[in-house]
Structure formats: C-alpha cells, structure tokens
Structure 1
Amino acid sequence: MLATVTGCTVVGIEGRLVDVEVYLSAQLPSFDIVGLPDTAVREARDRVRAAVKNSGFSFPQQRIIVNLAPADLKKEGPQLDLALAVGILKASGQLFLSEVPLAVLGELALDGTLRPVRGVLSMVMAAREAGFRLVLVPLENAAEARLVGGVQVLGASSLSEALEIVTGEKEPPPVPQQKENPAPPQADFGQVKGQEGAKRALEVAAAGGHSVLMCGPPGSGKTMLARCVPSILPPLSLEESLETTKIFSAAGLLKAAATRISRRPFRSPHHTVTAAALCGGGRYPRPGEVSLAHNGVLFLDELPEFRRETLEVLRQPLEEGNVTVARLQATYTYPANFMLLASMNPCPCGMLSDPAVECACSEWQVRRYRQKISGPLLDRMDLFVDVMRLCYDEVSGKGDGEPSKNIARRVSQARDLQRQRFAQSEISCNAQMGTKELQVFCQLDAAGRDILRHAFSRLHLSARAYDRILKVARTVADLDGETRILPRHLAEAIGYRQAETSPRLAMTRA
C-alpha cells in the first residue's frame, strides 16, 4: 500500500512543503526513512511507533519505507512526526481521508500528545502559497498559525484527536486567543540627566534608522542612552510584525502563550558572542542576532571587547540589509535590516582626553585597543557621538529631561514622511536609500554643495561617508518637516561625522 501526506519543514527561516510517501510491503518488519533526514527525523521512527500504539491504533508489522520528497532537501526537526503517523495509518488502511488538500505538522510525544514546534508561521505561509487551504497543527501553535490569512487552521492536542478532526468525527477545539509577545518595561529618556547632544543624535538615528557609535568615559551614560532608544522608535507595522515574528518563530524564541511581536526587538549580545551566533549559522543553521534584531535595534556594548573577526561579519548586513550563510549543502539568506547602536571607551582605562582624570594607558595600549575596530566597519557608521562626563550639577539636578513620548512623536512624524516618500519601493527609512534614491531625494543647493565640498576635503571622507552624510541630512530635514535639505541640516549631519576625528573617536585605520 502507498499513501502520501503533505508535511512541512523549515529551511533557514522559510517554510518548505515535504511530501511524506509511505510504502508498506509484505516483508520482515522494518522502518526506514530516506530523503536526507537529520537525526531528529530519523528518531521519529520510535516516537511514531509508540504514539500510534498508545493512541489505540495498531502499528503495521510490515516493512515500512518512507520517502521525504524532494529527496535532495535536508529535513530537520520533529515537525514531520504527525505527517509520518498519518501516512502510516493511511497506508495500513486504518485511516480514510477525503481528497481535500491538507498539510499537517507537529511533534509527537510517546503517549500520542502533540507538542508545539518552531517555525509554524513560515510553514503555514508556505502551505498557503502552495494552494493549501486546510492546515492541521498542534493546539499550542494554532494561534500563531492563524496569523496567516486565507488558511483554515485546525488545532489538536493529540494524535487521536487530530485524526477525529480530519475525518469529521469531532469538531476542532477553539483556538486560543491571539496574544502579543510581552516586552519588558522600557527605559525613558526623561530619566537621563544631561547629555542633550547625545539625545539629539539618537533622535536623528531613530528617525532615519541610522547606525550610531557612542564614545565616552565609563559611567557617562552610554548604555542607558542606548536602552532608551526603543522607547522612541515607531511601532511595527502589521507587515513588519509578521516578518519579525516569522524570524523568532523559526529560531524557536516565541513563547508558547504568545504569537505576535508588536514591539521592535532590542538585542544586546554579550561581547563573547561568536561570529555564527551573531550572523547566523551553526551545524543546523539558525538566525543570528543580526536577524533577530531585524526591524529593531542591535546594541553592541563595549565594541572593542568583541573579537575583530566577529565584528567583521557586520559589514554585509549593514550594507545590504541581509546576511548570507553558505554551507556545504545549502546557502541560507536571512533578513538583517537593523539599527546598530554601539558604545566604547576611548581607551582601555576610559580616561583618554578626560579633563579631570589622567589616562593611565600607554600609546601602544591605546593603539591596540582601537585597532580591534576596522576602518571599513567604522566607515559604515552614520553618526559618531562623543558622550562627555557629567558634572556634579547635572548628576544631582532634580529636573527631568524631555520624556520619550515627546521625542517618539517627532520620530513618528519623520517616519511617516519617509513612508510616503518611499511608498512605491521596498525602502522603509532613509538609512536604506541607495544611489538612485539619493539622487532624487537628497539634492543640494549651491550653498549646500559648497559646505559638503569643504567638509569632504577637510575630513578626508570616503564615497560611502559622503552618501551617509546625505542620508542623515535628509533625516534632519524630515524632523524639521522640510522638503528640501537646507544648509543647517547638512551642517548638523557633518557635525555627527566630524566627531569621528575627535581625540576620543579618532581611529587607526586598519
């Protein structure tokens, strides 16, 4: 007997349909799975056998051959368990299904219970694109699956219940109510004393999605400033929310009770993070921190403490908005369109150029510390901010700064202008503009060209730095509600780039 059931798997962060072909022959009992299964798929033989028996069905005492098509696609994870069980019962004549196209996915426990799996959002999207209008998933994944419109989602808590639902013997249980992924309380700029220049720079960065490098002595507030940035970012649109949720689902980071991420992610990996953990990869490739920060913020605290080879993987995502991980059997491309925030001390002790405390580092130590960050990576930063030590009156003052809700209002208005500007393209903010968009939306008058010409020669800027100054100037103009880039907007953008040449931020190009 031959039976075919459609299952699903995840490749990278994309869902792929898998035809589970089950053939029973009158030979000595055995159970073989072919079609590039990984360890989790091969071990499904024992899980499926126990689940079928403990659900009140008989396991066929015949030779069972399962082919997972397409055969050249590596199959990973336990989400094919349910499709294997349904295929075996169908091939053995214990289950009769209608011809309605049905995709099934889920992990089986030994007692027949259905357990949730990762990547449900991606797999249901793939089923919908392939024309399936009926999908059977574990009950705990049903709310997540229902985020995909145009598909009827059936949730079941066990193998026996799943079979009763697909045969029409039982009505599917109600799907749990969709919830948003809870987020911790956000820090507020109103709690930050002083540092008005840094706050303005972060406002510009949030308005245009620009990358920022903050440099200053220990305790000047760099980390707190960075953690306040999510409080001024605009909320995710529905499309962005689904895209972000899809990545977290594929990485297995969605909580069981939550389905949709509505706040922009804020990722802050430790400086011991590996290159694979940062950009994605591993034996079974998973999205890295740059992809988990997609549509949000990636914060790298104490940037020179990261390994140089780890930081170099940031070049591609900062330039292209995605990261490609090449492996022997496949190549995976993950979205990685994020806002990079980084902080650092000017030297190992942090006191270089501090007027109050003398630096204890030698010239060799300072040079070695700064060489951990390459020139090409620095050239991809949009804003350089010098965060100075606070004086006593600023620290002890009672007055609060401007609250985040006021800053967020201005940022949201600037982002609305950008959405209207780029409505006919895939660009969502000024930082993503290419050469074509710069020529159209960043035109300068004669005064502006003179200012930029002088800055280009005096600061020895690269072509990439030239483009990034124009992008930042466009964002400053958007915050002012101006359609044209005026000289004052350009001067502010150059000032953020000029800080790169200050004693604190001047880097040894490597």
Structure 2
Amino acid sequence: MALASVFSRALEGMDAPEVAVEVHLSGGLPCFSLVGLPETEVREARDRVRAALLTCNFDFPQSHITANLAPADLPKEGGRFDLPIALGILAASGQIKLSALADTEFAGELSLTGALRPVRGALAMALATRHSGRKLLLPAGNAAEAALASGVQVIAAASLLEVVAHLNGQAPLPFAEPSARASLPIYPDLADVRGQLTARRALEIAAVGQHSLLLFGPPGTGKSMLAQRLPGILPPMSEAEALESATILSLEGSFEARNWGRRPVRAPHHSASAVALVGGGSTPRPGEISLAHQGVLFLDELPEFDRRVLEALREPLETGRISVSRAARRAEFPARFQLVAAMNPCPCGFHGSPSGRCHCTPEQIHRYLARLSGPFLDRIDISVEVAAIACEDLRGRPGEASAPVRKRVCRARETALERQGCANALLEVAELDEFCQPDPDGARLLAQASLHLGLSGRATHRLLRVARSIADLAGAQRIGTAQIAEAIQMRRSLLPPP
C-alpha cells in the first residue's frame, strides 16, 4: 500500500481541530516532503521520524515520501505530529496494518530513540476527540491528564515500539485511568493573618460575589498574605469549571493531574508585558489572565506595571474573555479571573504610616497614583486600606481560620446562585433592578453618595453588586442602608486630586 492516512489533532485557541496526516510513497529519487502549512517544529519532524524509525529497526522507505497535513489552510505547530507521520510511513510501506489506524487518533513527539515525549494540549485534544467516537493514543506523560475528559478512551504508550506492537495485536495497551483527585485542595490558611479585620471582611465579601479587590497600605502589613489566602475561602470548583481551567493550563503545558479542582493563582511580576498578561504571539497562546481562569490573578506593586499593560485588562474584567487577533490567526480564550491587586500609598511606601518615615512630596505622590487611570480603577469593586498593626497584635491569637469563613462564603454564594444563577459580580445591568434593588432608605443613601462622590454609572452598578454580596452574607433578602453604607466604605477612591 503506497498511501496511508492517520488522524491527529492540531491546536487553535481552545479548540483542537482534526488533522488528517496523509503519507504517500512513490518512485523517484529518495526524498521526504512535508506539506500542509507546517511551522518550523513540524518541518523538523522529518529528521526525528527518520532517526526514530531506524533506531527501532524499522525499514525507512528509499522512495519519494510526501506527508500532507490536511486541511492545508490550518497552521500546524509543535511536535505532536511526529507519531502520526511515523505511523503513516509504516502503514504506507506495509510494516503495520492500515486497518488498525482507522478508529484511533494519535499525537506525540518522538525522540531519536523512539521514545514518546509529552505534548501540550492533551486535555483539549481529548475533549475534541470524544465527539469523533475514536480512541486517543498519547504519550504516557499525557495519558492521566487526557483521561480526565469523560467519554473518550485514552491509550498511553511510552515508545514507538509499544504503539506498533499494540496496532499489530501483539501487545495491546490498556486504557489509561485518570489520576486520583484530592478531596479538597490545600491552600494557605487565613488564620495566619493577625488583626486586619477590615481587610479580612473585604476579602470575605470579595469571595462571596467574585468581586475585584485592591489592597493598599505600607509594606509588610499583610497585603500579599491576604491575597494568597483568597483561594482558600472560595467555593469549590464545579466539574465544568475544573475542566475548563485544566484545559487552558494544558494548552500551556503546565497542568498536573494532581491539581485537578485547585483554583489557579497567578502572580506575574510587574515587568510582565501586555502579551504575557493577556496572551498573544505569532501562534496565539493564553496569557496570565486566561491561565488564572476560575482562579485568582494577583498583581503586586500595581502602579509599577506598565500603564498600557493595565489598560489591556479593562475589557477582560468586563467580559470575562479575551480575543487575540493577528494578521492570519485569531483565537479567543476565557478569562473569568478574580483580580486582587496590592499597592503602596506612595513611592517609598510609608505615606500615612505612624513611623513618619515618608519624605515623598505631594507631587511625587500625585505622579505615583496617576499611573493608575480612572477607567481602570472604576472597574475595581472593593478597595480597602491595610494599615500597619501594633506589635502586640502580631503576638496575639491567630485570626479566624479559613474553614468557617469558607462555610459562610459557600452559603452566601449558594443563595446568589439559587436567586439569579451567577455570582453577584457577573450580574448584567438589566438584572440589577430585579436582584439589587435597595429599600427606599438605601436608595436615598446611594443617590447621595453617587452625587457627592462623583460616582460614574459603572461605579454605582458595581457598588450595588457589592451591597448585594454584603446582604447575602447577612442573610438579608433586600439591600438596606447598612449594606449600602458598607459598600461605600469599601470603595475608597485612589485617584489623585485634580
């Protein structure tokens, strides 16, 4: 047989479109042509495949070999096509049965010894394969990850020799089983934070409604500690949320099956570029905001980030998605993250501190705060001060642990889901009148605050969503004056005076 076709998968954003690897052998001078819009890593497969076949004592045909990766207009990248190309050559030259390839899809990078190396996006490929009804054969390093996708049979192989023995019926490979899932992920405990009652309260409210949070105060007051403990009081991830988060991490190659159900926490350095934060590249890949999907994105030293980088967050904060467009490629990734940011009140960090160590001039403080634009700050729901605490408070009792706080958060979040089907921060403007309508006294207070504080329409809506979360924590059916007042206190403006 001089023609063979093997099924595989490419990666395009969150999708894994099907690719048919067609291998044709013909007469003429020996040569190995690879067509179908392959990128550099794919073109290099010719040398890897030849060496792997010869090392495993297979015959490498001394003929004109043409490998076509269809469809031709879909860019192909990575080493995932090494295995299907090698199997196509073996099937076209009669060294394995062609019929054995029909009901299975293959992906894997070959080493020169014939061993199979893991590839990116195994979970995305598994999710796409279950709609085709075929089995999926992957390197052993990817099998446990891909097996997390229900409805698809995953086969793990360690080498090309194992794959060939399996296809020839000599040594069938078993189906892979998903790794054991931890009953409850372990996070840093909130009990480690002493004092800071206002900041702890803000953290709890943010967890209930999935609100964005800004912590500001002098260095060493516990801002980073609070941010790292937010995942520990968030409700457990649903099966769908865990699968979506794992799929995105799989695209980057950083997912580990033992972390299934653990909310991701991403903390990029303030020198990160816009592409690193929101995603991009010649072959679009997810950025930090997508890798933090269903988890927490922590931006420490917020004013030190490039202003253009922060401005790129404005749209994802509203929509929960990011669209990356290039000249010939376009990809869309989910980005429903919970933003937690921390910053100092001035360049030296000690403005307003009891130590009196700050020597920043008003102009320096103004320039420092002006690095954050009004439209960006307008999209932050809660901003609270994390003040310096006394030494005796540090030696006092531990704070309330994460477990009881998490129970309150889960109870309040369940109330919101039963009422409206989503977290309070995700309520559409049209739904605010139905679910966030304050009582008459609360409405009057909100109107006065909006007038005197100069709140924009967006800020007023966000204040209502925060008040709804406060009411859910208190078990109140309707938003009252107390909830509106607390929401106002937790929306302190950081814009410098004109």
| Residue type at the aligned position of 2:324 | V
Q: Is 1:126 aligned to 2:124, yes or no?
A: no
SS across alignment from 1:351:
coil
Q: 5 Å matches for 1:300-339?
A: 300-339=299-338
Change (3 A) 1:260 1:163: farther
Q: Which amino acid aligns with 2:438?
A: L
Quote the Cα distance in structure 2 between the aligned partners of 1:149 and 1:97.
28
CA RMSD for the aligned pairs? 1.9
**Is contact 2:38–2:76 with CA below 8 Å preserved after alignment?**
yes
Aligned to 1:405: 403
- Residues 172-228 of structure 1 show CA distances to partners (whole Å, capped at 9, x for unaligned) of 146365144899963322121111011001100011110011111122221111122
Deviation at 1:333, TM superposition (A): 1.0
Tell me how far 1:302 sits from its aligned partner: 0.9
In the TM superposition, residue 353 of structure 1 has moved relative to its aligned partner by 2.9
Does 1:91 find its partner at 2:92? yes
Tell me the residue number matched to 2:384.
385
Provide the residue aligned with 1:72 in structure 2.
Answer: 73
Matched, 1:445 2:439: yes
CA distance in 2, matches of 1:305, 1:184: 32
Bigger drift between 177-186 and 66-75 goes to 177-186
CA–CA separation in structure 2 for the residues paired with 1:456 and 1:243: 38
- TM-score normalized by the length of structure 1: 0.93
Greater alpha carbon shift after TM alignment, 11-20 vs 288-297:
11-20
Equivalent residue, structure 2, for 1:18: 19
Q: Indicate the SS of the match to 2:446.
A: helix
2:20 is aligned with 1:31:
no
Structure 2 contact 107–139 (Cα < 8 Å) conserved: yes
Aligned residue for 1:270?
269
In the TM superposition, what whole-angstrom CA distance separates every residue of 1:329-382 from its partner, at most 9, and x where no partner exists? 111111110110011111111222335415311222112211211111000000
1: CA distance, partners of 2:148 / 2:40? 30
Q: Any gaps of 5 or more consecutive residues in structure 1?
A: none
Structure 1: distance between partners of 2:240 and 2:96: 39
Deviation at 1:101, TM superposition (A): 2.6
> Which residue number in structure 1 is paired with residue 296 of structure 2?
297
Alignment of 1:494-509 (within 5 A): 494-497=488-491, 499-500=492-493, 505-507=494-496
In 2: Cα distance, 1:401 partner to 1:290 partner: 31
CA distance in 1, matches of 2:157, 2:254: 22
Superposed displacement of residue 273, structure 1: 1.1
Residue 269 of structure 1, CA deviation: 1.1
2:218 is equivalent to residue 220 of structure 1 = no
- Cα deviation, 1:238-287, whole Å, max 9, x if unaligned, reads 111111111111101124xx355221111111111111111111233321
Aligned residue in 2 for 1:159: 160
Contact 1:375 1:508 in 2 (8 A): no
Match of 1:376 in 2: 375
How far, CA to CA, are the matches of 1:174 and 1:135 in structure 2? Answer: 10
Query: Are 2:244 and 1:238 aligned?
Result: no
Asked if residue 63 in structure 1 is aligned to residue 47 in structure 2, the reply is no
Identity over aligned residues, as a percent?
A: 48
SS in 2 for 1:19: strand
CA deviation digits over 1:397-453, x for unaligned, max 9?
A: x22211111111101111222332344xxxx41111111222321122222211111
Report the alpha carbon displacement of residue 6 of structure 1 after superposing the two structures with TM: 0.8
Q: Are residues 181 and 166 of structure 1, via their aligned partners in 2, closer, same or farther at CA, if it must alter by over 3 Å?
A: farther
Q: Is the CA contact (8 Å cut-off) linking 1:47 and 1:109 kept in structure 2?
A: yes
What amino acid sits opposite 1:485 in the alignment? Answer: I
Worse-matched range after superposition: 197-206 or 448-457: 448-457
Matches within 5 A, 1:134-213: 134-173=135-174, 175=176, 178-180=179-181, 186-213=187-214
| Unaligned 5+ runs, structure 2 | none
Residues 7 and 49 from structure 1, CA distance in 2 versus in 1: closer, same or farther, beyond 3 angstroms?
same
For residues 464 and 160 of structure 2, the distance between their equivalents in structure 1, rounded to whole angstroms, comes to: 59
The aligned counterpart of 2:103 is: 101
How many residues are paired up?
A: 496
Match for residue 114 of structure 2 among 108, 112, 115: 112
Within-5 A mapping of 1:342-361: 342-357=341-356, 359-361=358-360
Helix, strand or coil for the counterpart of 1:98? helix
Label 1:121 to 1:508 Cα distance change in 2 as closer, same or farther (>3 A). farther
Instruction: Tell whether the 8 Å contact from 2:420 to 2:435 is kept in structure 1 after alignment.
Output: no
Aligned equivalents of 1:269 and 1:363: distance in 2?
30
Does residue 340 (structure 1) correspond to residue 320 (structure 2)? The answer is no
1:40-95 alpha-carbon deviations (Å, 9 max, x no partner): 10000011111112222111111111111111111010011111111111112222
